[in-house]
């Protein structure tokens, strides 16, 4: 299993996931040209991609899905409410493979379970993907670490999780009050401390890697996010996964499990 975060933040989000038979993107939130560039930096071509799994309809997660679908015949997967919203946004009757939220399905050699998350979209989801005896989970936009989310993400070996903001930095920022209220709500974005508490709840000895995603440029930093979460883990010295932070501007290294 190989994984590469092509970029994560308010300007665009996309994750590449590859197994022996499947090569997929989770979201495609950069422009078409930027997606092609980032795939190339990771050593891939758009033609290598079998499918795009869409978490929700916000533009920083779907910006280039129409182009990639039409130009390279890449399959699109989403639940019905999300698919309908994407069609409205692009004013195009895009063809989707429809999945049911919280219902696992098989794609090539992986088992995919889209699970419900709290966010201000039609029917947003995270994904847990099982390949042989390895489990990868991703949730990049969620305002509340519900027990349901924790249940779906438990026993993961590799996790990509939103760690959007530091609460004090957000409150002190010049952002409008309404925007602050939205971000802090149950339908907004996960703070560093909330992400750390979620990770602590699902951590186990075989959780090898955590990638923090969707970091705010204005109200967070990679160093602060990682430090906050590592401090939470200091309470249990026996459980300390390797923690890194994804970048908005560049692709990550290619991780292999």
Q: What is the pLDDT of residues 23-40, one digit of tens each?
A: 999 999 999 999 999 999
High-pLDDT (> 70) share of the chain, %: 99
Residue 236: band (very low, low, confident or very high) from pLDDT cuts 50, 70, 90 = low
Q: What is the pLDDT of residues 120-164, one digit of tens each?
A: 999 999 999 999 999 999 999 999 999 999 999 999 999 999 999
Residue 15, classed as helix, strand or coil, is: strand
Q: What is the pLDDT of residues 57-100, one digit of tens each?
A: 999 999 999 999 999 999 999 999 999 999 999 999 999 999 99
High-pLDDT (> 90) share of the chain, %: 96
| CA–CA distance, 143 with 56 (Å, rounded to integer) | 14
* Orientation of helix 192-202 relative to helix 222-233, angle to 10°: 40
Strands 110-116 and 125-131: antiparallel
Stretch among 9-18, 98-107, 236-245 having the lowest mean pLDDT: 236-245
Q: Which of 238, 236, 248, 247 is nearest to 197 (CA)?
A: 236
Q: Which of 193, 129, 194, 118 is nearest to 159 (CA)?
A: 129
Whether pLDDT at 240 is above 90: no
Per-residue pLDDT at 239: 74
Whether pLDDT at 248 is above 90: yes
Domains and CATH numbers, the chain: 2-256 (3.60.15.10)
The tally of CA atoms less than 13 A away on the side-chain side of residue 79 is 22
Whether pLDDT at 210 is above 90: yes
Average pLDDT over residues 112-120: 98
Average pLDDT over residues 230-249: 86
Per-residue pLDDT at 17: 98
């Amino acid at each position: 299993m190989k994984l590469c975060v092509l970029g994560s933040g308010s300007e665009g989000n996309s994750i590449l996931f590859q197994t022996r038979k499947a090569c997929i993107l989770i979201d495609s939130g950069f422009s078409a040209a930027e997606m092609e560039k980032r795939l190339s930096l990771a050593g891939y071509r758009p033609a290598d991609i079998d499918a795009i799994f869409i978490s929700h309809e916000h533009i920083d997660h779907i910006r280039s899905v129409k182009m990639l679908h039409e130009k390279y015949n890449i399959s699109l997967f989403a639940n019905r409410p999300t698919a309908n919203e994407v069609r409205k946004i692009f004013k195009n009757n895009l063809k989707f493979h429809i999945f049911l939220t919280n219902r696992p399905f098989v794609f090539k050699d992986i088992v995919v379970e889209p699970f419900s998350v709290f966010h201000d979209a039609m029917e947003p989801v995270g994904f847990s993907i099982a390949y042989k005896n390895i489990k990868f989970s991703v949730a990049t936009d969620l305002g509340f670490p519900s027990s349901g989310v924790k249940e779906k993400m438990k026993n993961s070996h590799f996790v990509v999780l939103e760690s959007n903001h530091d609460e004090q930095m957000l409150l002190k920022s010049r952002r409008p009050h309404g925007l602050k209220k939205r971000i802090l709500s149950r339908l907004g974005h996960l703070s560093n401390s909330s992400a750390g508490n979620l990770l602590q709840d699902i951590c186990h000895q075989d959780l090898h890697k955590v990638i923090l995603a969707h970091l705010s440029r204005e109200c967070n930093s990679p160093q602060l996010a990682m430090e906050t979460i590592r401090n939470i883990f200091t309470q249990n010295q026996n459980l300390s996964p390797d923690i890194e932070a994804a970048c908005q501007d560049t692709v990550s290294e290619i991780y292999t499990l």
